[in-house]
């Protein structure tokens, strides 16, 4: 999976816009927070804990990690590193794809 051509963080709209070679997709910040792939969040989801994600949660910073990006959220959570493949999948129509990680 190639890195996106461009990433724009629309903080006001709460959307991360990713421009891939096959088109441009946006993912809401709340969805990204709910799909955090860090071990802590994955363990919580697997054990059936349903975390309430605030609709107004925002991505504060996007840090490049080579194979993906680390997202720093306004609720202080910053453990999730989102590989490009995962981000590409998240921008598609099917939720809960974290199970494939
Ligand atoms: Zn997490």
Q: What are phi and psi of 34, to 5 degrees?
A: -70, -20
Residue 25 Rama label (left phi>0; alpha psi -120 to 50; beta): beta
Q: How far is the CA of 36 from the centre of ligand 1 (A)?
A: 4
Backbone φ and ψ of 39, nearest 5°: -60, -40
The rounded Å distance from CA 23 to ligand 1 centre is 27
pLDDT of residue 93: 59
Ligand 1: centre distance to CA 50 (Å):
13
CA gap 97, 42 in Å, rounded: 11
Could you give the strand order of the β-sheet that contains 68-73, starting from the edge strand earlier in sequence? 59-64, 68-73, 81-83
Give residue-wise pLDDT tens across range 49-70.
Answer: 877 789 999 999 999 999 999 9
Query: Which of 27-31, 46-50, 77-81 has the weakest average pLDDT?
Result: 46-50
The whole-number average pLDDT for the span 25-40 is 94
Distance 16 CA to ligand 1 centre (A): 17
What the chain holds in terms of domains, given with CATH numbers, is: 6-100 (3.30.2020.30)
Mean pLDDT (the chain) is: 89
Q: Over the stretch 71-96, which tens digit does the pLDDT of each residue have?
A: 999 999 999 999 999 999 898 654 44
Distance 86 CA to ligand 1 centre (A): 14
Cα 9 to ligand 1 centre (Å): 19
Task: Mention every residue, 6+ apart, whose C-beta is less than 8 A from residue 79.
Answer: 36, 38, 39, 40, 41
Per-residue confidence (pLDDT) for residue 72, from 0 to 100: 98
Distance CA 76, CA 100 (A): 26
CA of 6 to the centre of ligand 1 (A): 24
């Amino acid at each position: 999976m190639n890195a996106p051509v461009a990433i724009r963080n629309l903080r006001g709209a709460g959307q991360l816009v990713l421009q891939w070679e096959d088109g441009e997709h946006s993912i809401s910040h709340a969805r990204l927070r709910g799909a955090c792939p860090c071990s802590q969040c994955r363990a919580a989801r697997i054990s059936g804990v349903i975390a309430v994600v605030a609709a107004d949660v925002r991505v504060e910073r996007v840090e490049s990690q080579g194979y993906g990006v680390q997202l720093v959220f306004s609720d202080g959570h910053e453990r999730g590193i989102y590989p490009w493949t995962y981000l590409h999948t998240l921008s598609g129509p099917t939720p809960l794809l974290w199970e494939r990680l």
